[in-house]
Structure 1
Amino acid sequence: RVFDIDFSFTPVLDIDYSESTVIRDRAFHGNIEAIKSLASNLLEGLKKGGMHGVGKHFPGHGYIKADSHLSISEDTRSLDEIASKDMSIFASLIKHGLDAVMPSHVLYSAVDENPAGFSSFWLKDQLRENFHFKGAIFSDDMSMKGAILGGEMKDRIIKALKAGCDMVLLCNSPQLVDEVLLQLDWKISPDSMTRLLSMRGFKSPEEAIQMTQEENFKEMASQIMAM
């Protein structure tokens, strides 16, 4: 927040099943309760600093070995299995005020024909209706290989917005941004605008700087640096 940053695309809420090539060293833990506890504390720290967090990658990316940045990724588990394990973490954090969620570009083939980030089943039926989630939904990067199932870039973006994303990210293909914006015919809804505006930081950079001078902050920073 010192640098006027409003939110961070963290925490990773995926479970470390010890198989994933992309999630394993990014996950908090392999134990569901440990993940809930650690993520809750991280989010509390962000809020104390005046920032918001974004839980990812809904409904859970940790089970499969494939890296959705590099390949089409498929999770063949049933909805019941995903819900009882991976999704339970999101459900718990949402009840405790998680501000935003990022869906994965994984295809859960036993559940829906579209990857989660393009799926109204996952974003509207599960997140909005089942979990009563009121926060913002940010897509994962549309230039990832796992997003190819959404079609050409413009089609991917439209599908993600229609599925329920409030904002779409296009991070690693900057040459496509202007082209897509010129082609895009989409009017953001008042609800989406309200959710996105709620992600603004709620402490000024000056307040955040002052917080870094407090003794308890310095003590904690020293402990972390010593790890």
Structure 2
Amino acid sequence: MAMSVLQPGFDGTEPPEWLRRALGDGLGGVVLFARNVVDQAQTAELVTALRRESPDVIVAADEEGGAVTRLEADTGSSWPGNRGLGVADDLAATARVARQIARLLAAAGVTLDYAPVADVNANPANPVIGVRSFGPDPDLVARHTVAWIDGLQGAGVAACAKHFPGHGDTVADSHLELPTVNASRETVERRDLPPFRAAIGAGVRAIMCGHLLVPALDALPATLSRAVMTELLREEMGFEGLVVTDAIEMRAVAAFHEPGEIAVRALAAGADAVCAGITAPDGSTVYGLRDAIVAAVREGRLPEERLSEAADRVRQLAAWHADRAPERAGAAAEPDDDLGLRAAGAALRVAAGACEWPVLARAPLVVEMAERPSEAIGGIAPPGLAGALAEVLPGTLGVSVDAGGALPDLSDHDRPLVVAVRDAARHGWINELLAEALRVRPDAVVVELGLPGSPVGAVHVSTHGNSRASARAVARWLTSLNPPTEES
């Protein structure tokens, strides 16, 4: 049973020998990351190889759309992220996007999507959630969380609402340190929990706990808290599905305990599956976790009934997925190749002065500025705005500027200037360079790919997300011969 509650990652594009052995020893799950993916065909072959060793293995992935994608990491996501969907506020479109993401996952054989993000992004300074949230309003987030779950699970892929009990009101990244939600119990109940209650009501198959400290709920991080995981989520909120931890190597918990101890405490608190994203090349991490769990059961620190209950929930999720083959087949027959571009276009918000149309008639210089993203994202998804504009305006030049860098020469007024930023309001260096660019080129077009601040530039476009779909939607808007009917 101890192996069945583990969901490790691994290196490489083929199953390493240790993973094949672990699957034979009863490993219950595997997590795919961008490092495991080359293309759709290779990913499907990889999952097929995993299932040769264990037909019921749960294969999980983070496929949120927007900035967080594993299966489209090399190209950028074909769909806008949650904030864009929330801004458009079209529940049917949100469900259709989730259904298309389910098609992508199902084609690769993925069982469980670690999505949607159900966090209410109450703090604009949040460094890790931001545009991954549907928005700052609990009711809007709840409605779109349900639509997303319905779309994904209706196409036969299990959804996992995260990060319980709510990661939106934090100013720390749990990949690096333990975030604290300094809110009253009443505020947590009113603001953070409604989307999770709605997800449970919608039949979500899994919920991921966040590595968060919520003093109003307990003095322990949520991952290790029986008060949060069992008393609140199970007993009070009535959730009966799979509870999975966020990756246990994240510093929010790894700074306090060894991996085996985290796994034992999380299971004792009420988790059913333990995610370990980074593992040793020889598989010793996974076997070390197994041994720690077995030792804890023998010592009486982890009741055997609790471990058995967790293993049963893992099997129930695998059985649910096996029973949904007809739904996955039905979804596969309903392609909609333009959906991502339409959905991203619906999220664009523009502040434009007196300008001619199209805004860009010649190949521009595109200066892209962004802080290094959270480890949850893993990198700035290509092709970026410069690549998207080059598709419609060949000869577009792209320059990336990092923190501490300098702007390129902007003196060529014959070439339009586009400045693309992400979360400029949160980063002083971006604001300084952006102001410098606008002093030289007040005619510049500014594109905000993160949470928007005050509009600046001759034309200011907010995409509410960083994805290939969002970049392509902006490129087409800027080069369109038809101006918008109204300023939004």
> Is 1:184–2:293 an aligned residue pair?
yes
Once residues 278 and 217 of structure 2 are traced to their aligned partners in structure 1, the CA distance between those partners, rounded to angstroms, is 29
TM (normalized to structure 2)? Answer: 0.43
Which runs of structure 2 are paired with 1:138-149 in the superposition (5 Å)?
Answer: 138-148=244-254
2:312 maps to amino acid: T
Residue 86 (structure 1) aligned with residue 163 (structure 2): no
Partner of 1:224: 340
Match of 2:328 in 1: 208
1:133 aligns with 2:253: no
Partner of 1:171: 277
Alignment of 1:48-59 (within 5 A): 48-59=154-165
Q: 1:199 to 1:61 in 2, by over 3 A?
A: same
The two structures, once aligned, show a CA RMSD in angstroms of 2.0
1:121 is matched with which residue: 224, 227, 249?
A: 227
Where do 5+ consecutive residues of structure 2 fail to align? 1-105, 298-303, 345-488
Residue 119 (structure 2) pairs with residue 3 (structure 1): no
For 1:88 and 1:64, how far apart are their aligned partners in 2? 18
**SS at 1:69's partner residue?**
coil
Matched, 1:15 2:133: no
In structure 1, C-alpha distance between the alignment counterparts of 2:330 and 2:107, rounded to whole Å: 9
Structure 1 Cα separation of the partners of residues 217 and 152 of structure 2 = 34
* Partners of 2:118 and 2:246 in 1: CA distance: 14
Q: Give the match for residue 368 of structure 2.
A: none
Given that 1:53 and 1:98 are in contact with CA atoms closer than 8 Å, whether structure 2 keeps it comes out as yes
Q: In structure 2, how many angstroms separate the alpha carbons of the residues matched to 1:60 and 1:91?
A: 12
Q: Equivalents in 1 of 2:155, 2:276: separation in Å?
A: 27
Q: Which residue of 1 aligns with 2:260?
A: 154
Contact 1:49–1:208 (8 Å) recurs in 2: yes
Q: How many residues align?
A: 222
- In structure 2, what is the Cα distance between the partners aligned to 1:164 and 1:180? 17
How many Å apart are 1:131 and its aligned residue?
0.5
- For 2:222, the aligned partner's letter is A
Quote the residue 1:195 is aligned against.
313
Inter-CA distance 101–150: structure 2 relative to 1 (3 Å threshold):
farther
Q: CA deviation at 1:210?
A: 5.2
Whether 1:74 and 2:180 are equivalent positions in the alignment is yes
Given that 1:150 and 1:159 are in contact with CA atoms closer than 8 Å, whether structure 2 keeps it comes out as: no
SS at structure 2 position matched to 1:141: coil
Fraction of identical pairs, as percent: 24
Describe the SS at the equivalent of 2:193. helix
2:348 aligns to what?
A: none
Report the equivalent of 2:359: none
Deviation digits for residues 146-188 of structure 1, max 9, x if unmatched? 1136512111111001000001111124353333333431456
* Partner amino acid, structure 1, of 2:338: S
On the 8 A contact 2:162/2:208 being kept in 1, the answer is yes
Q: Which residues of structure 1 form unaligned runs of 5+? A: none
Larger RCO: Structure 1 or Structure 2 (Cα < 8 Å, ≥ 6 residues apart)?
A: 1
Instruction: Give the match for residue 370 of structure 2.
Output: none
Q: How big is each residue's C-alpha offset from its partner over 1:33-62, in whole Å with a ceiling of 9 and x where there is no partner?
A: 211121111111112211111111111001
**In 2: Cα distance, 1:16 partner to 1:50 partner:** 28
167-176 or 88-97, larger mean C-alpha shift:
167-176
Contact 1:115 1:149 in 2 (8 A): no
Q: State whether residues 175 and 252 of structure 2, in contact with CA within 8 Å, keep that contact through their aligned partners in structure 1.
A: yes
User: What secondary structure sits across from 1:25 in the alignment?
Assistant: helix
Q: 1 CA distance for matches of 2:205 and 2:288? A: 31
Q: Distance in 2 between matches of 1:146 and 1:19?
A: 18
